[in-house]
């Protein structure tokens, strides 16, 4: 049995689906604050909160072989405004989970981490050896959990694979699961909702020293991310050691380039009015994914156009239903 915390959320639910496709039995632990029961099919759901250690006892009846951990708050801007929320949930909640698993003898763990731990890029593309200097509490909270795992690996032989995402985006290619946050703070869904007329859209980036003055990011399709988690799990189950991998395409696109692509798909001209500035965000980041390709045998399949079209189709379907 594979435990997936936060498995009813955006990336977690796609990964549950990918695990099931590979024949794994899954139990999801989620407080449903940001998760959606309707995203889950044919797996047990245990409703609980990692900030309450006693809630984890609800899992005692399951024979857990490994854990994939997605339960975290992920908004950079919110973390700057309310760091306490992020350290309580992302750090203390994660520690409660890791310690519970260690005490139960479960020693295989995959962490959903982030490129935000790198901070501003000293060089591009960014590899796993880039210095770690997060510029916001969200990134710092993930780095703190990475450090906890490093010490648990040394002291208890608690094996972990850390997956540092760049920008997750898109929806399942079969149209069944998509990105649904409340509030929604991510560029692609916000712009799509603006194009569909269901939400006011304003650009929220800080002006930075890039080719068009807008931040550059590496957008990776959520199904490619899910596939990487399956490969990481298989590596641990086959005796692999603790390790860390970047997950990105190796290509950077600016905010304004993303807007242009969404306009092509939606055939709607979006406003260029600048809204609230987003604090704590680096100017340009895109990944070196050589290590993941070589050691996990992972190859992202989906293009930027497929990312945006899959997201647009899912939001359009949700709007019509």
Q: What's the pLDDT tens digit per position in 108-139?
A: 999 999 999 999 899 999 999 999 999 999 99
Question: Where are the CATH 3.90.25.10 domain residues in the chain?
Answer: 187-216+250-320
For position 184, what pLDDT does the model report?
Answer: 72
Q: How far apart are CA 59 and CA 27, in angstroms?
A: 9
Q: What is the pLDDT of residues 44-93, one digit of tens each?
A: 999 999 999 999 999 999 999 999 999 999 988 899 999 999 999 999 99
Coil/strand/helix, residue 67: strand
pLDDT tens by residue, 166-202:
999 999 999 899 888 777 778 898 889 888 888 888 7
Residue 237: pLDDT over 80: yes
Q: Kindly report, residue by residue over 39-54, the tens digit of the pLDDT.
A: 999 999 999 999 999 9
pLDDT at residue 321 tops 70 = no
**Three-state SS sequence of 205-244:** CCCCCCCCCCCEECEEEHHHHHHHHHHHHHHHHCCCCCEE
Is the pTM higher than 0.85? yes
Q: Active-site residue 138, yes or no?
A: yes
Residue ranges of the chain assigned to CATH 3.40.50.720: 2-169+219-247
Query: Cα 84 vs. chain centroid, distance in angstroms?
Result: 20
Of 110, 95, 104, 102, the closest CA to residue 157 belongs to: 102
Residue 157 and residue 109 in contact, taking contact as beta carbons nearer than 8 Å: no
Catalytic residue from among 73, 118, 138, 312: 138
Domain 187-216+250-320 has CATH 3.40.640.10: no
- pLDDT the model gives residue 77: 86
Q: In the Cβ-directed half-sphere of 176, how many Cα atoms lie within 13 Å?
A: 12
Helix (DSSP H) and strand (DSSP E) numbers for the chain: 10, 11
Supply the CATH classification number for the domain 2-169+219-247. Answer: 3.40.50.720
Residues 240-285: pLDDT tens digits?
999 999 999 999 999 899 999 999 999 999 887 665 666 666 788 9
């Amino acid at each position: 049995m594979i435990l997936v915390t936060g498995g009813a959320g955006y990336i977690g639910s796609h990964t549950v689906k990918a695990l099931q496709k590979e024949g794994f039995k899954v139990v999801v632990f989620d407080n449903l604050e940001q998760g959606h029961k309707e995203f889950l099919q044919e797996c047990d759901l245990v409703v609980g909160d990692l900030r309450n250690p006693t809630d984890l006892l609800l899992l005692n009846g399951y024979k857990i072989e490994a854990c994939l951990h997605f339960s975290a708050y992920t908004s950079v801007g919110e973390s700057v405004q309310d760091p306490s929320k992020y350290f309580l949930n992302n750090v203390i909640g994660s520690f409660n989970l890791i310690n519970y698993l260690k005490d139960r003898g479960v020693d295989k763990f995959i962490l959903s981490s982030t490129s935000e731990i790198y901070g501003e890029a000293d060089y591009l593309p960014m590899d796993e050896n880039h210095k770690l200097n997060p510029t916001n509490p969200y990134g710092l909270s993930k780095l703190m959990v990475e450090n906890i795992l490093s010490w648990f690996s040394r002291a208890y032989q608690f094996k972990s694979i850390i997956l540092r995402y760049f920008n997750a985006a898109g929806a399942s290619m079969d149209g069944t699961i998509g990105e649904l946050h409340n509030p929604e703070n991510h560029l692609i869904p916000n712009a799509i909702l603006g194009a569909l007329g269901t939400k006011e859209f304003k650009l929220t980036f800080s002006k930075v020293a890039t080719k068009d003055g807008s931040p550059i990011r590496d957008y990776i399709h959520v199904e490619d991310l899910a596939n990487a988690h399956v490969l990481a799990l298989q590596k641990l189950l086959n005796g692999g050691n603790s390790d860390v991998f970047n997950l990105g395409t190796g290509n950077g696109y600016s905010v304004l380039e993303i807007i242009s692509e969404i306009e092509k798909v939606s055939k709607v001209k979006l406003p260029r009015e600048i809204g609230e500035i987003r604090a704590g965000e680096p100017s340009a980041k895109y990944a070196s994914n050589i290590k993941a390709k070589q050691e996990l045998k992972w190859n992202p399949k989906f293009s930027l156009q497929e990312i945006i079209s899959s997201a647009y189709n899912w939001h359009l379907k949700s709007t019509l239903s």
